[in-house]
């Protein structure tokens, strides 16, 4: 029997975009958030959807809503601070789980819950948004084109037009600056500071430089392509600020070793960037687009293939991806269980079709 789609964080910026997209797709998600007035207003505007209230400070409030076979789609972030109750509720109730995070430490947390997800017979899928679905698809396509000699992959995320981050994205980015990142080198995952290296990609827009970041590709790509020993992921959002951000991140890492400084910076950032402050308007989003590039390399560094995907603004992509994941998980379920990358969860043909439906297309 098909489960329900439970959309947690429905009154946030990304949650509301996702709710609207789901309704256009014909789905009837149960909208969940902490503010009943905001929930009711959205639910009635969207044709009378059902609602429920839950707050992560009361973990039972989310767990009691879920049933086995449901798909929990959560946009309640920053995830490293607010995400655990939703993940635990999905594991306890046997509900499939998908989130919108871009935070490296939370991505690692979800992939490291693999055995619990298997025991609960669920798919747990993290960072199913603009970052990091397109890079997973582009990397899988580049590896397929490159053939058996490819052992290394680099993915880069860029955009055209304004950056226009939501309040929730800024709050999550700020928190992510203070948590460790990771990389996949020499066939193993290693803890390493974010923005510790950069990489130059040749894109259709011209050369672009990205800063290293811990992403889902580090876990997901070696699982679908065990011959791959090195995965690099890079965010190229910063243009001329790339070098200052790289050196600033190094200075911050040094500073946070001073006892008490990390907690003080974290408190100041939470005050300055509280989240739930909205995001780019429809017309602002229409002026920007997203670009993901993946290159597959031989062990000597020769680039064997490059795949570039272009699509709409990252928030529209994220809403479309979460809509697809929610509908698929609540009906057919994922292709296997455990903590899953995008290709593992939906297969390469299924993911390719979903990305195309979201407006993400290969460019030649």
- The residues that touch ligand NAP, with contacts defined as CB under 6 A, are 9, 11-15, 33-35, 55-57, 75-79, 82, 100-102, 127, 129-131, 166-169, 172, 275-276, 279, 314-315, 318
**120 contacts 149 by C-beta, under 8 angstroms:** no
Tell me how far, at minimum, the Cβ of 352 lies from ligand NAP, in Å: 19
**Cβ distance to ligand NAP smaller for residue 129 or 181:** 129
Tell me how far, at minimum, the Cβ of 86 lies from ligand NAP, in Å: 9
Instruction: Report which of 86, 82, 56 is spatially closest to residue 71, judged by C-alpha positions.
Output: 86
CB atoms closer than 10 angstroms to residue 199: 17
CB atoms closer than 10 angstroms to residue 191: 11
For 276, residues 6+ apart whose C-beta sits below 8 A from its C-beta are 12, 13, 167, 168
Tell me how far, at minimum, the Cβ of 360 lies from ligand NAP, in Å: 12
**Cβ distance to ligand NAP smaller for residue 21 or 152:** 21
Tell me how far, at minimum, the Cβ of 364 lies from ligand NAP, in Å: 25
CA 205 to chain centre: 24
**Cβ distance to ligand NAP smaller for residue 133 or 337:** 133
Q: Which tokens go with 203?
A: 């894109």
Instruction: Say how many CA atoms lie within 13 Å of 255 toward its Cβ.
Output: 14
Instruction: Report which of 244, 187, 179 is spatially closest to residue 214, judged by C-alpha positions.
Output: 179
Q: Which tokens go with 173?
A: 């980015």
**Cβ distance to ligand NAP smaller for residue 73 or 296:** 73
Tell me how far, at minimum, the Cβ of 254 lies from ligand NAP, in Å: 26
Q: Which tokens go with 193?
A: 């500071």
**Cβ distance to ligand NAP smaller for residue 76 or 142:** 76
CA 273 to chain centre: 20
**Cβ distance to ligand NAP smaller for residue 38 or 199:** 38
**Cβ distance to ligand NAP smaller for residue 55 or 144:** 55
Q: Which residue is nearest to ligand NAP (CB)?
A: 168
Tell me how far, at minimum, the Cβ of 229 lies from ligand NAP, in Å: 26
Instruction: Report which of 7, 12, 220, 54 is spatially closest to residue 127, judged by C-alpha positions.
Output: 220
Opening angle at CA 189, ends 187 and 192, nearest 5: 130
Residue with tokens 């309640």: 76
Q: Which tokens go with 168?
A: 């929730």
Tell me how far, at minimum, the Cβ of 275 lies from ligand NAP, in Å: 3
DSSP readout, 135-157?
HHHHHHHHHHHH-TTEEEEEEEE
Tell me how far, at minimum, the Cβ of 26 lies from ligand NAP, in Å: 23
Tell me how far, at minimum, the Cβ of 245 lies from ligand NAP, in Å: 17
Q: What pairs with residue 338 in β-bridges?
A: 123
Q: What pairs with residue 99 in β-bridges?
A: 74
**Cβ distance to ligand NAP smaller for residue 52 or 304:** 52
**158 contacts 210 by C-beta, under 8 angstroms:** yes
**Cβ distance to ligand NAP smaller for residue 213 or 296:** 213
């Amino acid at each position: 029997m098909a489960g329900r789609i439970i959309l947690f964080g429905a009154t946030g910026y990304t949650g509301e975009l996702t709710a609207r997209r789901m309704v256009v797709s014909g789905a009837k998600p149960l909208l969940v958030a902490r503010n009943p007035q905001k929930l009711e207003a959205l639910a009635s505007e969207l044709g009378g959807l059902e609602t429920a209230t839950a707050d992560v400070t009361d973990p039972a409030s989310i767990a009691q809503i879920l049933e086995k076979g449901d798909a929990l789609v959560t946009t309640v972030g920053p995830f490293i601070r607010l995400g655990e109750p939703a993940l635990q509720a999905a594991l306890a109730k046997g509900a499939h789980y998908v989130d919108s995070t871009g935070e490296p430490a939370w991505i690692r947390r979800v992939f490291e819950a693999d055995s619990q997800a298997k025991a609960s017979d669920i798919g747990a899928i993290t960072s199913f948004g603009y970052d990091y679905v397109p890079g997973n698809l582009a990397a899988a396509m580049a590896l397929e084109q490159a053939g058996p000699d490819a052992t290394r992959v680099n993915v880069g995320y860029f955009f055209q037009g304004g950056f226009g981050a939501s309040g929730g994205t800024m709050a999550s980015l700020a928190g992510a600056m203070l948590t460790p990142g990771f990389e996949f080198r020499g066939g193993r995952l290693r803890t390493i500071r974010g923005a510790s290296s950069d990489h130059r990609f040749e894109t259709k827009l011209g050369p672009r430089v990205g800063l290293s970041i811990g992403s889902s590709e580090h876990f997901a790509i070696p699982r679908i392509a065990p011959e791959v020993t090195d995965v690099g992921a890079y965010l190229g959002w910063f243009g001329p600020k790339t070098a200052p951000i790289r050196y600033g991140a190094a200075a911050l890492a040094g500073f946070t070793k001073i006892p008490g400084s990390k907690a003080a910076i974290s408190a100041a950032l939470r005050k300055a960037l509280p989240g739930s402050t909205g995001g780019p308007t429809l017309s602002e989003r229409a002026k920007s687009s997203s670009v993901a590039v993946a290159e597959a390399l031989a062990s000597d560094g020769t680039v064997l293939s490059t795949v570039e995907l272009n699509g709409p603004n990252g928030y529209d992509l994220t809403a479309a991806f979460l809509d697809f994941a929610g509908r698929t998980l609540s009906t057919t379920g994922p292709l296997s269980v455990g903590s899953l990358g995008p290709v593992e969860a939906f297969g390469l043909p299924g993911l390719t079709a979903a990305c195309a439906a979201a407006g993400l297309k290969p460019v030649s």
